[in-house]
Structures are given as structure tokens and as C-alpha cells.
């Protein structure tokens, strides 16, 4: 088998290439915790930041499959009087596809690392995000164009929690993590990280504990491992999380080019022929890409901000060349 040689310069985390039950290559670098000098390992759990959105989308689609929601359901039908600046014609599908036009509490078109307007410690449940989401005027009419929106996915979490009657993190665990066999994946509190979880570090060496919500919601906060993410892709495409018709909705290329040739479905990116989960924030970098044709997953998880998207693309191209010799 050809040797895979990923670009690991300045990396702190884990890079993995897997196909089916085979590990094509895995590399663990740097420290998960600098105080205790605990090293990153292939079993280390990392924050996924916006990679969480894929699980949010799947959870909402599971409710569509049960007939509790539809893609055409208006967000207002569930929100009631909350978040009055969200237009009445914004639907579940607009939120899933980042075409809602609602105002964003963290508008990445302006600053993807802007400080939050509320103390992070008060954000300890999905309902606690409502004041954070309020007061942002509409950017454009629903359905007009693609514009990446963090608020939209927290609104989806609010809707999923209200409709299911289950706290959002618990609902994702039951709906996605458990059927996929993702036993290491969770939504931990940032001030109570489980053993084996990497601490995120900012460029100045401080941890990210004062930068991110204490408990994640629909737009971020899930933690996972390279192994769990490979299991996720196989379970998803094998129909073990939601039925094939809902998988097709998730991965459908709704916006073929959101910029730089990268497309978007409903919670999943499309790049260079791969399905992609991606996220980045203070002390967090996460990219997991899957090639459906070969069943190959390439994942890069880091507890620093480090270029990873293009590196995983290059590693996937090399992994494809390995072909059936793996």
C-alpha cells in the first residue's frame, strides 16, 4: 500500500484516514492539556464547533420523517412570540440551507471570532440562547440567497427541543449519536470536560473557556473523536440514523457554489467530490470528509486554530490513490 504522508506542520490534534474497518493512517500530535502535559491520542475527544450543525440538521430531519415537522413549516409556528424579528415566511428549510436571511448573532461575513453579547456562563441550555438571538434585523428576504447563519441553527435547536419535548443535546444523542454507535460523542460543559477531552487553546496560549458558550446548542458545542466521525459517515449512508430519503435531503446539493466552488446541502458541505463536516472557532478546528464511492473518511481534529480544510482535501486525494490495495 502506498504510504500516506499528510502535512502535519504546526498541527496539534489528530489526523485520520479510514476506509471501512481499515485504518489507512492516523497521526496524533501535541498536547490535549498543556497543564498536565497529557498528549493527544487517536481516542482524544475534540470540539467540533460548527461541525455540530450536521447533527442538528439530521435531528430536525428526523422530526420531518416522523411528520412532526415539514420542510415548509414556518419557524413562527413553533416560536410563537419569541424572536419577533424573524420573518413569518421563514421555514425550516430556509434555516437548514442558510437561506433564511435572518439576522445572525455571530455573523461570519463580518467577524467569525467576534465576542458574544452575553456572558458565556449563562448559555447553559438551548432556551438560554433566546436573548442572544433576539434583536437582529432581517438581512434579506427568505430564499433570496445563501448566507451562512449561526443563529439559524440555534433556532432549529429551539424548534427541535420544543417539538420533541427533549433537551436538545439529549435529543441529538438519542437521534444521532446512539444509532451511529458514536459512544464517545457528547455535548460537554466547557467547565466540566470529561476525561480524554482536549482543551482548546487560543493563539495567545490561553484556553477558550471564556470565549465559547458553557454548553453548546444547534450551531456548535458537540465533541467527538476521529473514530466516531468515521462511524457516523458509515451509519448515515447505511441508513442507520435516518431513512435513505432523509439522507438524500441532508446531502442534496442545494447551493452548488457558496464561494470558492464549495457547495452546501442541509447541514453538509460539498467539496472536491467529498461530503464534509467542518467547523472552526477559538481553540477549535474540525474537518471530516467522506468519499462515498470508496467509503473513505479523512478527518482532522485540532485543539488550536490551524489550517485543516485543504490538508484533509490533499490527504483524501492521496487516500483515493491507494485504491483497492488498502
The closest alpha carbon to 203, from 284, 291, 83, belongs to 284
Query: What 3-state class would DSSP assign to 220?
Result: strand
Give me the catalytic one of 50, 151, 164, 185: 50
Q: How far apart are CA 239 and CA 4, in angstroms?
A: 30
DSSP labels, 58-117? HHHHHHHHTTS--TT-BHHHHHTTSSTTS-TT-BHHHHHTT-S----TT-TTT-TTPPPS
Q: How far apart are CA 2 and CA 314, in angstroms?
A: 15
50 is a catalytic site residue: yes
Beta bridge partners of 254: none
DSSP 8-state secondary structure symbol assigned to residue 217: B
Query: What 3-state class would DSSP assign to 27?
Result: strand
Beta strands in 7-81 (DSSP E): 13-19, 22-29, 31-33, 38-39, 46-47
Angle formed by the axes of helices 150-164 and 52-65, to 10°? 40
Dig out the grid coordinates for 111 from the structure: 467577524
Beta strands in the chain (DSSP E): 13-19, 22-29, 31-33, 38-39, 46-47, 223-224, 263-264, 269-271, 274-281, 284-291, 296-302
* Positions marked catalytic: 50
Amino acid at each position: 500500500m502506498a504510504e500516506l504522508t499528510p502535512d502535519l506542520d504546526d498541527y496539534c490534534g489528530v489526523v485520520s484516514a479510514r476506509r471501512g474497518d481499515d485504518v489507512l493512517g492516523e497521526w496524533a500530535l501535541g498536547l490535549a492539556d498543556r497543564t498536565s502535559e497529557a498528549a493527544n491520542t487517536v481516542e482524544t475527544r475534540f470540539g467540533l464547533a460548527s461541525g455540530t450543525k450536521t447533527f442538528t440538521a439530521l435531528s430536525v430531519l428526523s422530526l420531518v420523517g416522523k411528520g412532526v415537522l415539514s420542510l415548509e413549516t414556518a419557524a413562527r409556528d413553533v416560536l410563537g412570540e419569541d424572536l419577533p424579528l424573524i420573518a413569518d415566511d421563514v421555514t425550516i428549510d430556509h434555516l437548514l440551507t442558510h437561506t433564511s436571511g435572518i439576522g445572525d448573532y455571530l455573523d461570519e461575513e463580518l467577524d467569525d471570532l467576534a465576542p458574544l453579547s452575553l456572558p458565556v456562563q449563562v448559555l447553559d441550555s438551548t432556551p438560554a440562547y433566546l436573548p442572544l438571538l433576539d434583536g437582529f434585523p432581517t438581512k434579506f428576504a427568505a430564499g433570496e440567497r445563501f448566507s451562512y447563519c449561526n443563529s439559524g441553527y440555534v433556532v432549529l435547536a429551539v424548534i427541535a427541543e420544543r417539538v420533541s419535548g427533549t433537551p436538545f443535546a439529549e435529543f441529538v444523542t438519542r437521534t444521532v449519536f446512539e444509532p451511529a454507535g458514536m459512544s464517545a460523542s457528547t455535548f460537554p460543559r466547557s467547565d466540566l470536560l470529561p476525561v480524554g477531552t482536549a482543551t482548546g487553546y487560543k493563539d495567545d496560549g490561553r484556553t477558550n473557556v471564556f470565549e465559547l458558550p458553557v454548553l453548546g446548542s444547534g450551531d456548535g458545542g458537540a465533541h467527538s473523536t476521529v473514530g466516531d466521525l468515521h462511524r457516523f459517515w458509515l451509519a448515515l449512508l447505511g441508513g442507520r440514523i435516518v431513512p435513505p430519503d432523509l439522507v438524500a435531503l441532508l446531502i442534496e446539493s442545494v447551493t452548488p457554489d457558496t464561494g470558492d466552488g464549495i457547495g452546501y446541502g442541509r447541514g453538509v458541505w460539498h467539496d472536491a467530490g467529498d461530503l464534509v463536516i467542518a467547523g472552526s472557532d477559538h481553540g477549535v478546528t474540525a474537518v471530516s470528509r467522506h468519499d462515498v464511492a470508496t467509503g473513505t473518511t479523512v478527518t482532522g481534529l485540532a485543539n488550536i486554530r490551524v489550517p485543516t480544510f485543504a490538508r484533509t482535501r490533499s490527504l483524501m486525494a492521496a487516500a483515493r490513490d491507494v485504491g483497492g490495495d488498502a
